[in-house]
Amino acid sequence: MTKTNPNASISGARRRAKFAIVPLAAAQLMITLDSTIVSVALPSLQADVGLSNSDRAWAVTAYTLTFGGLLLLGGRLGDLIGRKRALMIGVIGFAVVSAACGAAQNSLMFVGSRALQGIFAALIAPSALALITTTFTEPRERAKAVGIYAATAMSGGAAGLVVGGLLTDYLSWRWCMFVNIPMSVIVVLGTVLCVAGTSRHTDVKADVPGAILVTLGMGGVTYGLAVASEGGWGSGETIGALIAGIALLAAFVWWQSRAVSPLLPLRVAVNRVSGASFLAMMISAFCTFGMMLGMTYQLQTVLGFTPLQAGLAFIAFVGTAVLSSTQVGRRLVTLIRPGLMMAAGLVLYALALLLVTRLTPQSSYWADIFPPLALMGLGVGILTVPVVGTVMAVSEARDSGVVAAIVNTMQQAGGSVGAALLNTISVNAAAAYLGSRTGDPATEVEATVHGFVAASEWSVGIALIGALTAAVAVDIPAPRKALPQAEK
């Protein structure tokens, strides 16, 4: 009878575990990539599936809305059913709905599939990060794995823009969705082979009512902001959606004060320092998603860039974002008060958007578009590093998981509202501009640029309000050494 060597089995499992970062980082890359990959394909897919100008923001918002709204619930479900199982379910579901999204024949099918993508992404994100912390237990290995994971998350935005442009140019916008299928296969196979299973926490309660209330509430507000571009701010549909959304969000807050296992513990939300930090992150995403949506049309419709050229043009933003996150922000966070750093980041956003307001149909890329993109990217790291480090430092250890999820939730919520509201402002301003030029008719291109400029003017004001709030409310001193969450 042959005896098995348990030590050899353990050694083999450890060797396989070293490669676990590959599928886990690939999972993060896939869901991050999908937040931007559709941006440069919008002019191509808009006509193909019948998206109107007022509805085009939903190509982005439908994904970020369900993603952000369900992140907290996704983390709880991972605790309940096991992180590895949750990741597998999320990835397989993501692949299936991506195929449906790529095959969409109308706007309803496309937007609906994008919303379903966000639901499964909300299951993937917290599970992948949690599996890294349980798989890599040795401090040096864990630091390296987290570094790879963070770099993947940061570069995912760049990859989405470039890959989206490449696929749209040489194949079809539909491949921006189909590309998730082979990526999902890699993640599933790698997870099966390299990632150990985790225990289930059957005592965890999933706050389903809270998840439903916050997601429907955000959906109502976002829908109201989006339909205002067609019906106007005084229409019954706009007012009704906004009132319903706000009422549902108020009900969510009420429920969180009474739920046994709330998605958002109010002790975290009402803390002045963490609350202002969350707001800074939300405003950052608000400005970023709105700018990217408008800049996509500026590059392709006005300047005549191909989708691939437009994707490469955004590297000005992502390159400086990576540099400021990994180098500038990491060093400054030990020298400057966090509130002042957040304020400085948002002031850079405001300056970048102020430069955008100078755009005309005759603007060039290097003189008029590259500078604001690079400046906003610089603001990303200067803002993000102190936000993450501060909210983790001022929160109780028992809340560390939910606080990390809230940061992601604020980012997705800000992106959803920013894309919807700023697109509405842009569409309305463009229509008003066309209507006012009866004696000297304006071209569609001129109206498009005018609308983008008008939306950017609003963003400047919002970024400055956020900067003032952060500078005043986040009044804690700079840490003596780099916060763990901010380290490279």
pLDDT at 399 exceeding the cut of 60: yes
Q: Are 389 and 483 in contact (CB under 8 A)?
A: yes
Most confident of 57-71, 205-219, 231-245: 231-245
Confidence band for 114, pLDDT divided at 50, 70 and 90: very high
φ and ψ of 461, to 5 deg: -65, -45
Residue 152 CA to residue 13 CA, distance in Å, equals 25
Report which residue type is found at 398. Answer: R
Confidence band for 103, pLDDT divided at 50, 70 and 90: very high
Query: Percent of the chain scored above 70 by pLDDT?
Result: 85
Task: Give the helix, strand, coil percentages of the chain, each rounded to 5.
Answer: 80, 0, 20
For 230-240, write each residue's pLDDT tens digit.
778 888 888 99
pLDDT at 456 exceeding the cut of 90: yes
For 290-311, write each residue's pLDDT tens digit.
888 788 878 888 888 888 888 8
Average pLDDT over residues 18-36: 83
Amino acid 296: pLDDT: 80
Residue 185 CA to residue 92 CA, distance in Å, equals 8
Which tokens belong to 111?
Answer: 């937007």
pLDDT at 43 exceeding the cut of 90: no
For the ranges 75-84, 100-109, 200-209, 236-245, the lowest mean pLDDT is seen at 200-209
Please choose, from the candidates 387, 422, 420, the residue with its C-alpha nearest in 3D space to the C-alpha of residue 406. 387
* DSSP state letters, 135-156: H--SHHHHHHHHHHHHHHHHHH
Confidence band for 485, pLDDT divided at 50, 70 and 90: very low
Amino acid 8: pLDDT: 46
Alpha carbon separation from 399 to 252, 263, 395 (Å, rounded): 19, 11, 6
Average pLDDT over residues 432-447: 77
Q: Are 54 and 424 in contact (CB under 8 A)?
A: yes
Alpha carbon separation from 171 to 122, 177, 200 (Å, rounded): 29, 12, 43
Amino acid 395: pLDDT: 75
For 285, the 3-state DSSP assignment is helix
pLDDT at 407 exceeding the cut of 80: no
pLDDT at 483 exceeding the cut of 60: no
Amino acid 197: pLDDT: 65
Residue 386 CA to residue 277 CA, distance in Å, equals 9
Higher-pLDDT residue of 157, 288: 288
For 116-156, write each residue's pLDDT tens digit.
999 999 888 888 877 876 777 676 676 567 656 666 765 66
Residue 232 CA to residue 236 CA, distance in Å, equals 9
- Give how far the C-alpha of residue 246 lies from the chain's centroid of Cα atoms, to the nearest Å: 22
Most confident of 329-343, 359-373, 410-424: 359-373
Q: Are 40 and 161 in contact (CB under 8 A)?
A: yes
Amino acid 355: pLDDT: 96
Residue by residue, what is the 3-state secondary structure of 45-111? Answer: HHHHHCCCCCCCCHHHHHHHHHHHHHHHHHHHHHHHHCHHHHHHHHHHHHHHHHHHHHCCCCHHHHH
Q: Are 158 and 312 in contact (CB under 8 A)?
A: no
CB neighbour class for 244 (10 Å; exposed up to 12, middle 13-18, buried from 19): middle
For the ranges 354-363, 431-440, 451-460, the lowest mean pLDDT is seen at 431-440
Higher-pLDDT residue of 174, 65: 174
Amino acid 54: pLDDT: 66
Most confident of 83-97, 161-175, 249-263: 83-97
Amino acid 155: pLDDT: 60
Higher-pLDDT residue of 41, 99: 99
What does pLDDT average to over the chain? 82
pLDDT at 7 exceeding the cut of 70: no
pLDDT at 31 exceeding the cut of 90: no
Cβ-based neighbour number of residue 274 at 10 Å: 25
pLDDT at 9 exceeding the cut of 70: no
* DSSP state letters, 307-362: HHHHHHHTHHHHHHHHHIIIIIHHHHTTTS-HHHHHHHHHHHHHHHHHHHTT--TT
For the ranges 21-25, 282-286, 320-324, 480-484, the lowest mean pLDDT is seen at 480-484
CB neighbour class for 387 (10 Å; exposed up to 12, middle 13-18, buried from 19): buried
Q: Which residues of 437-460 are buried (b: 16+ CB within 10 A; e: fewer)?
A: eeeeebeebbbbbbbbbbbbebbb
Amino acid 488: pLDDT: 34
Amino acid 482: pLDDT: 44
